[in-house]
Amino acid sequence: MFNYLKPNNLLKIINKTQKFVFIIFLVIISIGLVEALILSPEDYKQSDSVRIMYVHVPAAWISLGIFSLIAFLSFGILVFKNKNLSLITKSLAPSGFVFNVIALVTGSIWGKPTWGTWWAWDARITSMLLLAFFYLIFLLSWRVTDKEEKAVKISSYIAIIGLINVPIIKFSVEWWSTLHQPSSVNIFTETSIHTSMLLPLGIMTAAFALFSLLIFLMKYNTELIKIKNKGLDRL
Amino acid sequence: MISEVLYMNGYGLYVWSSFAFTLSCFCILYLVIKLQLIKEQKKFKVRFESLEADKIEIAKTQETYKEILTTSSASKI
């Protein structure tokens, strides 16, 4: 299984797919922006402020998804001692962190016209802020330690501890009486959003996912070159 | 039509600032990662060119080195 994850094989795939992903991303984000800002209808209660949802929700979904992936791969790092998995987690973190910041900031902007406040220490918002701190500590753990093995271990433990926060974020709106509304899009139960709004939301989510893939590919490529640069000494 | 899209029933400032912030974050992140990549490619190229001739020959036989050099701006392979 790990043969496909070998740096040599991955580098070839990365170089071939990078430009392709970038072009597809540009096409999809353009369609998504037109749909989200012009074509989608306004909400009967929130009016046009509902359009913030098209950047806020995908950013929150993807930051959560990336962190969960990092945490599961961290289990793999500790169990299988696979160095490549740590490269993958390190390359995933920057886009996850930026999406988390986007979710917090756009959520705050959306909160002002909807709730009348920029910020509330609500369970959902606070747990998302906590996730941003986990991302930050994860990213910093690679900078504060000189020894790579130590950094891999520390960052893996941070990701695994941070995983506890993921279900708290997901179910916070159900467990506590929060200012934040419950989720409107559900996989297993009925979705309460109309198709005319679900379509731009889906397109924007796809665009955001493609962007995080693009950043991951570029970052992974950079990390791989760093390693190969050190390897030149051993020739 | 244009003023309606810009004004958005009084929510224009909130909506446009959210989208502008998101797209700015995308641009900044893309540029930062791209610059890091170019910097590492340049570093690699400089170090590769400073290698002794026999070491360059060994490196040329390895797929990963080939791949890095062909993707950086100027390649010797």
Angle in degrees, CA A167, A139, A101, rounded to 5:
60
| A147-158 mean pLDDT | 91
pLDDT at A223 over 80: yes
Q: Is residue A150 part of a domain?
A: yes
Q: Are A185 and A191 in contact (CB under 8 A)?
A: yes
Q: Is residue B54 part of a domain?
A: yes
Q: Are A196 and A41 in contact (CB under 8 A)?
A: yes
For residue B40, the one-letter residue type is E
Q: Considering only CA atoms, which of A154, A157, A123, A160 is closest in space to residue A140?
A: A154
pLDDT in tens, A7-35: 667 777 887 888 899 999 999 999 999 99
Q: What is the CATH number of the domain that holds A97?
A: 1.20.120
Cβ count within 10 A of residue A135: 25
Distance from CA of A182 to the nearest CA of B (A): 21
Q: Considering only CA atoms, which of A94, A13, A227 is closest in space to residue B43?
A: A227
Q: Considering only CA atoms, which of A55, A30, A35, A33 is closest in space to residue A197?
A: A35
Say whether residue B26 is in contact with chain A using an 8 A CB cutoff. yes
Helix, strand, coil shares, percent, chain A, to 5 = 80, 0, 15
Contact B29 A95 (CB under 8 A): yes
Task: Identify the residue with better confidence: B59 or A57.
Answer: A57
Q: Is residue B76 part of a domain?
A: no
**By residue range, what is the domain housing residue A44?**
15-184+193-227
Say whether residue B44 is in contact with chain A using an 8 A CB cutoff. yes
The total domain count for chain B is: 1
The total domain count for chain A is: 1
Q: Helices A83-115 and A53-80 sit at what angle, rounded to 10 degrees?
A: 150
**By residue range, what is the domain housing residue B55?**
2-71
Residues of A in contact with B12 (CB under 8 A): 48
Alpha helices in chain B (DSSP H): 2-7, 12-49, 53-60, 63-71
Say whether residue B11 is in contact with chain A using an 8 A CB cutoff. yes
Q: Tell me which residue has tokens 């900031």.
A: A105
Which three-class secondary structure string do you get for B54-76?
HHHHHHHCCHHHHHHHHHCCCCC
Q: Is residue A232 part of a domain?
A: no
| A52-80 mean pLDDT | 96
- CB proximity list for A205: less than 8 A, separation 6 or greater: A57, A58, A61, A62
Q: Is residue A6 part of a domain?
A: no
Q: pLDDT at position B35, please?
A: 96
Please name every residue paired with A43 in a beta bridge, in sequence order, or none if there are none. Answer: A47
Q: Tell me which residue has tokens 């909807």.
A: A114
Distance from CA of B22 to the nearest CA of A (A): 6
Question: What ipTM was assigned to the predicted interfaces of this complex?
Answer: 0.91
The pTM score is 0.90
Contact B36 A221 (CB under 8 A): no
Please name every residue paired with A47 in a beta bridge, in sequence order, or none if there are none. Answer: A43
Residue of chain B whose Cα is closest to the Cα of A230: B44
Contact B33 A48 (CB under 8 A): no
Distance from CA of A225 to the nearest CA of B (A): 6
Task: Identify the residue with better confidence: B58 or B25.
Answer: B25
A229, A230, A233, A234, best to mutate vs chain B, most B CBs in 10 Å: A229
Q: Helices A123-144 and A83-115 sit at what angle, rounded to 10 degrees?
A: 150
Size of interface A-B (CB pairs under 8 A): 110
pLDDT in tens, A180-199: 777 776 666 677 778 889 99
pLDDT in tens, A115-145: 899 998 988 999 999 999 999 999 999 888 8
